[in-house]
Structure formats: structure tokens, C-alpha cells
């Protein structure tokens, strides 16, 4: 078993992974990393306290997306769903966003782009970054993908992130 898979055995981060993720989140939130590296802040579904998770943003056709490399069981995925998609992204600044889950049949190009931007995720997805889209389509139902949009109030006012 690779070290990357050991950190997230069973689809949950172990103590070492949580420590590393906390350190990484602090760096990403301050903007000390490429702009594709962000921190997601979302209300916890049980406690209501803000939960933070460092993530890699994938861009496809001018739209930004977040991918769960650990699949359906990720805490951040369940929290985003419980919050109705309301979240905050941080990368040097705070950006209120709405995350819209996209259907499995539209995820393949995003998953492919994501693997190119997030090499550490390769240990968790059963396809390589150079695989044809058909292979990504075959596993897309296992990996939630969220489109990053402006929250409704800002979108109605014509604001952009």
C-alpha cells in the first residue's frame, strides 16, 4: 500500500493526514501556493462549526470544479450537500460560493483535468491522467464533482468571483 493511500485508508484521513491537511490548509488559505490550491470552508452537518479542507481546483471550459478524490464518503462532500452547496473558498482572500453537484455523465472531462492538476489524487482514482475519457466515464459515478458558482444573491446582482 502506498503512503498516499495509507494516509486515507478507508476513505478517511488518519491522524497524520489530518495534521498535514491542517498545515496545508493554513498555507492555501493565505495564498502561499498556486491558485489551483484552495481551502474549502463549509458548515459541519452535525455541529454547525466551520470545517476546513484543502482541495485542488480543476478548471474545464472556463468553469471551476472541486472533486472528491476519496469518493462519496468524504466529510466535505456530505457537509456541502447538507449545507445546500453554500460554502467559502479561501486562497489569499475569502470568496463565498455555491457548489453545484454535477451529474455523473458530465464528470469525465473534469476528472481527467483534475488528475493532471492533482498528482497525489492518482493513488485514489483507478485511472491514469492519460486514460481516454471513456475510462473516466466508467468510474465517474464514484467521485462527486461540484461546479463552483457565485451564490444566488451575488449572481443576481451580476457580480463575479
**DSSP labels, 104-149:** GGG-HHHHHHHHHH-GGGGGTSSS-TTS-HHHHHHHGGGS-EEEEE
Q: 97-135, pLDDT tens digit by residue?
A: 999 999 999 999 999 999 999 888 888 899 999 999 999
Predicted model pTM: 0.80
Beta-bridge partners for 132:
none
List the one residue out of 136, 116, 114 whose CA is nearest residue 126.
Answer: 136
Looking at residue 155, its pLDDT comes to 54
Q: 9-57, pLDDT tens digit by residue?
A: 665 667 776 676 666 666 666 666 667 889 999 999 999 999 999 899 9
Looking at residue 120, its pLDDT comes to 82
Q: What CATH number is associated with residue 102?
A: 2.30.110.10
Cell numbers linked to 100: 453545484
Local structure of 39: helix, strand or coil? strand
Could you tell me if residue 161 is inside a domain? no
Could you tell me if residue 29 is inside a domain? yes
Could you tell me if residue 37 is inside a domain? yes
Domains in the chain: how many in total? Answer: 1
Looking at residue 38, its pLDDT comes to 92
Could you tell me if residue 160 is inside a domain? no
Q: Is the pLDDT of residue 159 over 60?
A: no
Cell numbers linked to 115: 488528475
Looking at residue 73, its pLDDT comes to 85
Give 32's contacts (C-beta < 8 A, 6+ positions apart): none
The range of the structural domain enclosing residue 61 comes to: 3-152
List the one residue out of 64, 96, 99, 63 whose CA is nearest residue 79.
Answer: 99
Could you tell me if residue 157 is inside a domain? no
Could you tell me if residue 11 is inside a domain? yes
- State the pLDDT confidence band at 152, using cuts at 50, 70 and 90: confident
Could you tell me if residue 56 is inside a domain? yes
Amino acid at each position: 500500500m502506498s503512503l498516499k493511500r495509507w494516509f486515507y485508508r478507508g476513505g478517511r484521513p488518519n491522524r497524520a493526514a489530518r495534521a498535514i491537511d491542517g498545515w496545508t490548509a493554513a498555507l492555501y488559505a493565505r495564498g502561499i501556493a498556486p491558485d489551483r490550491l484552495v481551502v474549502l470552508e463549509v458548515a459541519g452537518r452535525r455541529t454547525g462549526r466551520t470545517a476546513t479542507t484543502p482541495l485542488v481546483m480543476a478548471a474545464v471550459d472556463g468553469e471551476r470544479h472541486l472533486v472528491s478524490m476519496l469518493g462519496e464518503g468524504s466529510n466535505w462532500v456530505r457537509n456541502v450537500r447538507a449545507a445546500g452547496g453554500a460554502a467559502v473558498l479561501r486562497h489569499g482572500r475569502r470568496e463565498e460560493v455555491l457548489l453545484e453537484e454535477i451529474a455523473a455523465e458530465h464528470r469525465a472531462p473534469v476528472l481527467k483535468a483534475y488528475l493532471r492538476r492533482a498528482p497525489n489524487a492518482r493513488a485514489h482514482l483507478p485511472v491514469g491522467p492519460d486514460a481516454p475519457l471513456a475510462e473516466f466515464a466508467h468510474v465517474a459515478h464514484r467521485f462527486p464533482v461540484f461546479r463552483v458558482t457565485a451564490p444566488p444573491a451575488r449572481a443576481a446582482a451580476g457580480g463575479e468571483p
